[in-house]
């Protein structure tokens, strides 16, 4: 199995392992295991009445729901076919000469930048890689030394793949200063809905003052909608207007808009998720945190990062889990990590226990053989 794929490629994994998708346990994609909010199913069924018409290209109703939820104006929001489209639209409009990416990072940040001729500058996170199990720190001083007018800085919090999250008070002054220097800042908050105290972490309060700040979010992870594809951006009306002027008007389908409208109205679903996640994070700490040959990086959201003692051990454990139809995310293609690292989604307790017991058995066997 190739180590350099994105997570969530269940059909590829099933073909590689010669099993059906239904028998695969995918821990490589960080999707809410509770599935979409209950009202989504009814909204989608009802929404089928509208599929004979083009979708609303202005996304009027879903923007109204998001604006109310986030306490912004509808003209500060742009909707897209997943967060990926928002990233692509931003790069197409901004055309920064250089893009600063804090690594390790989602590979598409650099890939999209290069597609638009932007030079990619990689700056590693401070802390956790050198001194496991963390904490990781944003390299604000290093970024400050590299940026120039017109550049784009990409930040990601909660951070994929490390699971770290940084309160706004730690970085907001730096971001505002970069904005005043003519630098654009894209903050990817695709996992922030998993934080019960998201208001303390989000960059949304900055967008009214700092007109070069763009916040990107995704409905895919929290609301378990990867098959429908919906992401959105929040920024100044001016930047949002520029992005809206150069795009496919039909990229967000009707069913996705219907599903997202009811998802972001469902506070009980969010509270259920936060309660479940707190319990499972404690289980992860009590289990993986004590496993020999493994360093655990404490999670803030619905996935966690581990580091094996060496790459051979990691590969051997992978192979044994693959025999059971279990897939975790090999982090070999994350710059700054490597083949010793694995990112693992947090699922329901039964699945989490099964994965840990398989890994524990594999590690125990390796220790006996050595």
- Which pLDDT score is estimated for 16? 64
- Which pLDDT score is estimated for 366? 82
**Residue 4 belongs to a domain:** no
The whole domain housing 321 covers 10-30+268-369
Q: Compute the C-alpha angle 128/130/132, nearest 5°.
A: 50
- Do 89 and 78 contact (CB within 8 A), yes or no? yes
**Residue 284 belongs to a domain:** yes
Task: Tell me phi and psi for residue 98, to 5 degrees.
Answer: -140, 145
Domain count, the chain: 2
- Which pLDDT score is estimated for 1? 43
Local structure of 169: helix, strand or coil: helix
- Which pLDDT score is estimated for 214? 98
**Residue 171 belongs to a domain:** yes
Same domain for 326 and 186, yes or no, is no
Show the DSSP H helices in the chain as ranges: 10-17, 38-47, 60-70, 83-94, 107-115, 140-146, 172-180, 237-244, 254-263, 267-287, 311-323, 349-369
- Which pLDDT score is estimated for 283? 98
- Which pLDDT score is estimated for 129? 62
Q: What is the pTM of this model?
A: 0.93
Among candidate residues 256, 365, 301, the one with its CA nearest the CA of residue 157:
301
**Residue 330 belongs to a domain:** yes
End position of a domain, from candidates 208, 238, 265: 265
For residue 310, give the CATH number of its domain. Answer: 3.90.1150.10
pLDDT by 10-residue block (mean), the chain, 370 residues: 48 59 81 97 95 97 98 98 97 97 95 97 82 78 96 97 96 98 98 98 96 97 96 98 95 98 98 98 97 92 96 93 90 92 97 96 81
**Residue 5 belongs to a domain:** no
Gyration radius (Cα) of the chain, Å: 21
- Which pLDDT score is estimated for 4? 40
- Which pLDDT score is estimated for 82? 96
For 291, half-sphere exposure in the C-beta direction (CA atoms, 13 angstrom radius) is 29
Same domain for 299 and 257, yes or no, is no
Same domain for 248 and 319, yes or no, is no
Same domain for 246 and 129, yes or no, is yes
Same domain for 20 and 144, yes or no, is no
- Which pLDDT score is estimated for 2? 45
- Which pLDDT score is estimated for 24? 78
Instruction: Give CA–CA dist 354/131, Å, rounded.
Output: 29
């Amino acid at each position: 199995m190739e180590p350099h794929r994105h997570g969530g490629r269940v059909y590829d994994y099933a073909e590689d392992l010669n099993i059906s998708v239904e028998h695969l346990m995918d821990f490589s994609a960080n999707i809410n295991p509770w599935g979409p909010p209950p009202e989504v199913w009814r909204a989608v069924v009802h929404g089928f009445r509208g599929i004979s018409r083009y979708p609303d290209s202005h996304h009027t109703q879903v923007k109204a729901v998001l604006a109310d939820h986030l306490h912004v104006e509808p003209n500060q929001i742009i909707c897209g076919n997943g967060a990926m489209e928002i990233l692509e639209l931003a790069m197409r409009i901004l055309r920064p000469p250089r893009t600063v990416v804090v690594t390790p990072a989602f590979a598409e940040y650099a890939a999209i930048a290069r597609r638009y001729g932007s030079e990619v500058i990689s700056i590693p996170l401070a802390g956790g890689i050198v001194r496991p199990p963390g904490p990781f720190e944003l390299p604000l001083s290093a970024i400050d030394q590299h940026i120039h007018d017109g550049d784009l800085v990409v930040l990601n919090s909660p951070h994929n793949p490390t699971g770290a999250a940084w309160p706004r008070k730690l970085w907001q002054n730096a971001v505002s200063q970069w904005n005043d220097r003519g630098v654009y800042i894209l903050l990817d908050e695709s996992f922030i809905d998993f934080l019960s105290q998201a208001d303390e972490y989000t960059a949304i309060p900055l967008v009214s003052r700092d007109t070069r700040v763009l916040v990107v979010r995704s409905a895919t992870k929290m609301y378990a909608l990867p098959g429908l594809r919906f992401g959105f951006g929040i920024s100044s009306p001016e930047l949002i207007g520029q992005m809206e002027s150069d795009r496919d008007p039909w990229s967000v389908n009707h069913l996705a808009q219907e599903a997202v409208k009811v998802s972001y109205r469902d506070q009980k679903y969010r509270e259920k998720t936060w309660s479940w996640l707190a319990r499972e994070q404690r289980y992860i700490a009590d289990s993986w945190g004590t496993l020999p040959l493994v360093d655990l990086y404490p999670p803030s959201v619905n996935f966690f990062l581990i580091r094996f003692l060496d790459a051979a051990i990691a590969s051997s454990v992978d192979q044994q889990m693959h025999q059971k139809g279990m897939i975790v995310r090999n982090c070999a293609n994350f710059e700054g990590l490597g083949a010793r690292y694995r990112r693992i989604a947090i699922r329901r307790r039964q699945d989490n226990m099964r994965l840990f017991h398989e890994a524990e058995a594999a590690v125990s066997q390796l220790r006996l053989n050595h």
